[in-house]
Amino acid sequence: MMITRVLALSLALMTVACGYHLRGAIDLPEQMRKIYIKNASNSLQQQFTKTMKASSVDVVKQINQAGLVVAVFNEKMDRRVLSLSSTGKASEFELNYSLDYELQDASGAVLKKVQSIEITREYYNDQEAIIAKTNEEVIIQQELYQQAVKSIVNTARSDLTSK
């Protein structure tokens, strides 16, 4: 019993010592430990909260609690048909997610001027599996939100650590 505990503790210490982090965890500067998301869609806010939780960052509810404010503008999710089948039904779609954002401090001072993100994904629409394709589109949208969050966080991290 004692050997098992010592072994488990040793393994845990070695894992921490080698720099291992949980997948999705991001090492962030102190200023980014409390983030406020301004004017974002529900989906983007949820993805931000989920991603930041893995990095021990709080997405705060009030702007005056934040070390960093991500102000979102012109957020859009568009879907368009890329190709049609011989029966005239859509066989391929494209999802396009775009937004502009600005990094600010809690007082509204601009830390990083307006940046744009545009992410596009294509997927095949199998007419035999309509329900599965609807679910696939929802998953792709979540991935687009996740990619946008990571892009915003990486930009903020690189700008704030270089100053």
φ/ψ bin of 157: left (φ > 0), alpha (ψ from -120 to 50), beta (otherwise):
alpha
Mean pLDDT within 97-124 = 94
Residue 15 pLDDT level (bands cut at 50, 70, 90): low
Mean pLDDT over all residues of the chain?
A: 83
pTM of the model: 0.77
Percent of the chain with pLDDT over 70: 76
Question: For residue 66, with 0-12 CB atoms within 10 Å meaning exposed, 13-18 middle and 19 or more buried, which class applies?
Answer: buried
120: its two tokens: 């596009």
Q: What is the DSSP string of 52-110?
A: HHTTT-EE-SSGGG-SEEEEEEEEEEEEEEEEE-TTS-EEEEEEEEEEEEEEE-TT--E
Mean pLDDT within 120-142 = 78
Mean pLDDT within 86-96 = 85
Residue 59 pLDDT level (bands cut at 50, 70, 90): very high
In whole angstroms, give the CA distance from residue 19 to residue 13. Answer: 10
Predicted pLDDT at 83:
86
- 88 pLDDT more than 70: yes
Residue 23 pLDDT level (bands cut at 50, 70, 90): very low
Handedness of CA 140, 146, 150, 153 (dihedral sign): positive
Predicted pLDDT at 96:
97
The full set of domains in the chain, from first to last, is 2-162 (3.30.160.150)
Which amino acid, 33?
Answer: R
Predicted pLDDT at 21:
43
Residue 110 pLDDT level (bands cut at 50, 70, 90): very high
Instruction: Classify 128 as helix, strand or coil.
Output: coil
